[in-house]
Structure 1
Amino acid sequence: MNSVEKKLIVNSEKGNLLRELVKSMTECQRFYFSVAFINFSGLQLLLDPLKEAEKKGIKGKIITSTYLNFTDAKALEKIREFQNVDLKVFVTDKEIGFHTKAYIFEYNDHYKVIIGSSNITQSALKSNIEWNVEIIAKENGRFIQDVLKEYDYLWHMSEDADEDFIARYEDFLKSFKSTQITHQMIYENKQYIVPNRMQKRATENLERLRSFGEKKALVIAATGTGKTYMSAFDVKDVKPKKLLFIVHREEILKKAKETFELLLPNERLTFGLLTGNHKQKHVDYVFATIQTISKCFYEFEKDEFDYLIIDEAHHATSPTYQTVLKYFEPKFTLGMTATPERSDGYNVFDLFDNNVALEVRLHEALEDELVIPFHYFGITDIEGIDLSDVDIDDITEITKRLKVNERVDFIIEKMDFYGHDGEKRKGLGFCVSIEHAQYMASEFNNRGYKSVCLTGADSSEIRERYINRLENDRDELEFIFTVDIFNEGVDIPSVNTVLMLRPTNSPIVFIQQLGRGLRKHKNKEFLTVLDFIGNHNKTFLIALALNGSRYYDKESLKVAIATGFANIPGCTHIQMDKISQERILAQIDKENFNSMKYLKEEYFEFKKLNQGRIPLLLMDYMKYDGAPDPVKFIDREKSYLQFVAKVEKDDELKGLLINDAFEGTVKELSSKLPLKRIYEFVIMRYLMGHEEINLEIAKRQILKMIHDVDDDSILHAFETLNQNYYDSVQLKNKPKLVHYSDGKLTKTAMYKGLLENEDYRQFIEDIINYGIFRYEKEFKAEYYGIPHFKLYEQYQMVDAALLSNYRKIHSSFRGSGLLTNGNDYFLFIDLHKEEDIKESINYNDKFIDERYFQWQTPNSTSQNTERGQNIIYNERRGINLHLFVRKYREIDGKNEPFIYIGKGNTVHFEGEKPITVQLKLENEIPSTLFTEFTKKV
Structure 2
Amino acid sequence: MEAVEKKLIVNSDKGNLLRELVKSMNECVRFYFSVAFINFSGLQLLLDPLKEAEQKGIKGKIITSTYLNFTDAKALEKIKEFQNVDLKVFVTDKEIGFHTKAYIFEYQDSYKVIIGSSNITQSALKSNIEWNVEIITKEHGRFIQDVLKEYDGLWDMSAEADQAFISRYEEFLKSLKNTQNKHKLIYENKQYIVQNRMQKRATENLERLRSFGEKKALVIAATGTGKTYMSAFDVKNVKPRRLLFIVHREEILKKAKDTFEMLLPNEGFTFGLLTGNHKQKHVDYVFATIQTISKCFHEFERDEFDYLIIDEAHHATSPTYQTVLDYFEPQFTLGMTATPERSDGYNVFDLFDNNVALEVRLHEALEDELVIPFHYFGITDIDGVDLSDVDIDDITEITKRLKVNERVDFIIEKMDFYGHDGEKRKGLGFCVSIEHAQYMASEFNKRGYKSVCLYGADSPDIREQYIQRLEDDQDELEFIFTVDIFNEGVDIPSINTVLMLRPTNSPIIFIQQLGRGLRKHADKSFLTVLDFIGNHQKTFLIALALNGSRYYDKESLKVAVATGFANIPGCTHIQMDKISQDRILEQIDKENFNSMKYLKEEYGEFKKLNQGRIPYLLLDYLKYDGAPDPVKFINREKTYLSFVAKVEKDEYLKELLLNEAFEATIKELSSKLPLKRIYEFVILRYLLEHEEINLEMAKQQVLKMIDHVDDDSILHAFECLNQNYYDIGQLKNKPKLVQYSNGILTKTDILAKLLENEENRKFIEDIITYGIFRYEKDFKREYYGVPHFKLYEQYQMIDAALLSNYRKIHSSFRGSGLLANGNEYFLYIDLHKEEDVKESINYKDKFINPHEFQWQSVNNTTQQSERGKNIIFNQQRGIHLHLFIRKYKEMDGKTEPYIYIGKGNSVEFEGDKPITVRMELENEVPANLYTEFTEKV
Q: What is the TM-score of this pair, normalised by structure 1?
A: 0.99
For the 8 Å contact 1:114–1:135, the answer to whether it is kept is yes
2:673 & 2:611 partners in 1: Cα distance? 27
- Opposite residue 799 of structure 2, the aligned amino acid is D
The reply to whether residue 465 of structure 1 matches residue 452 of structure 2 is no
Q: How far apart are residue 559 of structure 1 and its match? A: 0.2
Once the two structures are superposed, what CA deviation does each residue of 1:118-137 show, in whole Å capped at 9, x if it has no partner?
Answer: 00000000000000000000
Deviations 1:318-372 (A, max 9, x none): 1000000000000000000011013322100000010000000000000000000
Misfit runs of 4+, over 6 Å: none
- Which amino acid is the alignment partner of residue 263 of structure 1? L
Which residue matches 1:61?
A: 61
Query: 2:85 — aligned with what?
Result: 85
Residue 642 of structure 1 corresponds to 642
Q: Which residue in the other structure is 1:568 paired with? A: 568
**Aligned 1:274-313 pairs, distance under 5 A:** 274-313=274-313
State yes or no: 1:670 paired with 2:670.
yes
The 5-angstrom pairing of residues 485-634 of structure 1 reads 485-634=485-634
Please state if 1:167 is matched with 2:167: yes
| Per-residue CA distance 1:466-525 (angstroms, 9 max, x = gap) | 000000001000000000000001000000000000000000000000000000001110
The corresponding residue for 2:127 is 127
Distance 1:84 1:534, change over 3 A: same
Distance apart, 1:253 and its partner CA: 0.6
The one-letter code matched in structure 2 to 1:589 is: D
Note the C-alpha offset of 1:186: 5.2
Match of 2:104 in 1: 104
Secondary structure, in 3 states, of the residue corresponding to 2:376? strand
Distance 2:603 2:747 in 1: 34
Partner residue in 2 for 1:820: 820
Q: Which amino acid aligns with 2:805?
A: N
Contact 2:343 2:611 in 1 (8 A): no
| Alpha-carbon contact 2:186-2:192 (below 8 Å) kept | no
1:429 aligns with 2:433: no
2:23: which partner in 1? Answer: 23
1:253-264 matches, within 5 Å, as 253-264=253-264
CA distance in structure 2 between the aligned counterparts of 1:730 and 1:866, rounded to whole angstroms:
33
Equivalent residue number for residue 763 of structure 1: 763
The answer to whether the Cα contact below 8 Å between 1:668 and 1:735 also exists between their aligned partners in 2 is: yes
Distance in 1, Cα, partners of 2:46 & 2:191: 41
Whether the aligned pair in 1 keeps the contact of 2:33 and 2:102 (CA below 8 Å) is yes
Q: Do the aligned partners of residues 322 and 375 (structure 1) sit closer, same or farther apart at CA in structure 2, a change above 3 Å counting?
A: same
- In the alignment, the residues of structure 1 paired with residue 809 and residue 169 of structure 2 have an alpha-carbon distance, to the nearest angstrom, of 77
Residue 176 of structure 1, CA deviation? 1.9
One-letter amino acid of the counterpart of residue 835, structure 1: E
Residue 835 of structure 1: CA displacement? 1.6
Matches within 5 A, 1:209-358: 209-358=209-358
- Rounded to whole Å, the distance in 2 between the matches of 1:410 and 1:793 is 44
Alpha-carbon distance in structure 2 between the residues aligned to 1:609 and 1:472: 33
After superposition, the C-alpha distances for 1:426-450 in whole angstroms (9 at most, x for unaligned) are 0000000000000000000000000
Q: Which residue of 2 aligns with 1:801?
A: 801
Cα deviation for residue 68 of structure 1 reads: 0.8
Distance in structure 2 (CA, Å) of the matches to 1:309 and 1:899:
41
Question: What is the match of residue 871 of structure 1?
Answer: 871
Map of 1:13 onto structure 2: 13
- The CA deviation at 1:837 is 6.0
- Equivalenced residue count is 937
Matched ranges for 1:817-856 at <5 A: 817-836=817-836, 838-839=838-839, 841-856=841-856
Structure 1 residue 140: Cα displacement: 1.9
- CA deviations on 1:741-788 (whole Å, 9 max, x unpaired) are 111111111110000000000000000000000000110111111000
Whether the 8 Å CA contact 1:834–1:840 is kept in 2: the answer is no
Contact 2:274 2:287 in 1 (8 A): yes
2:798 aligned counterpart, secondary structure: helix
Letter in 2 for 1:707: D
Indicate the residue corresponding to 2:480 in structure 1.
480
Do the aligned residues in 2 keep the contact of 1:817 with 1:827 (CA within 8 Å)?
A: yes
Question: Which residue of the partner structure matches residue 888 of structure 1?
Answer: 888
SS in 2 for 1:682: helix
The CA deviation at 1:185 is 2.5
Structure 1 CA distance for aligned equivalents of residues 684 and 89 of structure 2:
70
| Cα-to-partner distance string for 1:107-153 (whole Å, 9 max, x where unaligned) | 01110000000000000000000000000003421000000011111
For the 8 Å contact 1:317–1:343, the answer to whether it is kept is no
Q: Is contact 1:6-1:136 (8 Å) kept?
A: yes
Is contact 2:187-2:193 (8 Å) kept? no
**C-alpha spacing 1:407/1:188, structure 2 compared with 1 (3 Å):** closer
Deviation at 1:191, TM superposition (A): 2.1
Give distance in 2, aligned partners of 1:118 and 1:222.
31
SS of 1:18's equivalent in the other structure is helix
TM-score, with structure 2 as normaliser = 0.99
Distance 1:704 1:739 in 2: 24
DSSP-derived class of the 1:268 partner: coil
| Residue number in structure 1 paired with 2:390 | 390
Q: What residue ranges of structure 2 are gaps of 5+ in the alignment? A: none
Letter in 1 for 2:182: T
Task: Tell me the equivalent position of 2:657.
Answer: 657
Structure 2 partner of 1:445 = 445
In structure 1, C-alpha distance between the alignment counterparts of 2:786 and 2:75, rounded to whole Å: 56
Aligned residues of 1:634 and 1:670 also touching (Cα < 8 A): yes
- 1:184 deviation in Å? 3.4
Give 5+ residue unaligned stretches, structure 1. none
Q: Is the 8 A contact 2:31 2:103 kept in 1?
A: yes
Counterpart of 1:693, as a letter, is I
Aligned partners of 1:930 and 1:707: how far apart in 2? 30
Partner of 1:717: 717
The structural deviation recorded for 1:188 is 4.7
Deviations for 1:698-725, whole angstroms, at most 9, x for unmatched residues? 0010011111100100000000001111
Asked if the contact 1:833/1:840 (under 8 Å) is kept, the reply is no
Distance 2:138 2:433 in 1: 59
What is the distance in 2 between the residues matched to 1:246 and 1:342? 18
What secondary structure sits across from 2:849 in the alignment?
coil
Structure 1's 345 and 663: CA in aligned 2 closer, same or farther, altered over 3 A? same
Is the Cα–Cα contact under 8 Å of residues 245 and 286 in structure 1 kept in the other structure? yes
Question: Residue 878 of structure 1 aligns to which amino acid in structure 2?
Answer: G
Question: Does the aligned pair in 2 maintain the 1:33–1:61 contact within 8 Å?
Answer: yes
Q: Hey, what's the Cα distance between the residues in 2 that align with 1:574 and 1:247?
A: 36
Q: Secondary structure at the match of 2:491?
A: coil
Asked whether 1:70 is paired with 2:70, we answer yes
- Name whichever of 334-343 and 487-496 sits farther off: 334-343
Q: Distance in 2 between matches of 1:161 and 1:7?
A: 33
Amino acid at match of 2:507: P
Q: Find the aligned partners of 2:561 and 2:874 in 1 and give their Cα distance.
A: 39
CA deviation map 1:643-683 (0-9, x unaligned): 00010000110000000000000000000000000000000
- Preserved contact between residue 841 and residue 859 of structure 2 (Cα < 8 Å): no
Q: How does 1:33-72 map to 2 (within 5 A)?
A: 33-72=33-72
Amino acid at match of 2:200: K
> In the aligned structure 2, how far is the partner of 1:358 from the partner of 1:838?
52
Distance 2:715 2:439 in 1: 66
CA distance in 2, matches of 1:809, 1:215: 41
Distance between the aligned counterparts of 2:566 and 2:928, measured in 1?
Answer: 7
SS at match of 1:425: coil
The verdict on how the C-alpha distance between 1:121 and 1:736 changes in structure 2, with shifts beyond 3 A counting, is same
SS of the residue aligned with 1:717?
helix
In the alignment, the residues of structure 2 paired with residue 359 and residue 77 of structure 1 have an alpha-carbon distance, to the nearest angstrom, of: 42
1:282-322, CA deviations, whole angstroms, 9 ceiling, x for partnerless residues?
00000000011000000000000000000000011110000
SS at match of 1:797: coil
Work out the CA distance in 2 between the residues paired with 1:877 and 1:12.
36
Tell me the amino acid that sits aligned with residue 226 of structure 1: G
Name 2:776's counterpart in structure 1: 776
Q: Which residue of 1 aligns with 2:726?
A: 726
RMSD of aligned alpha carbons: 0.9
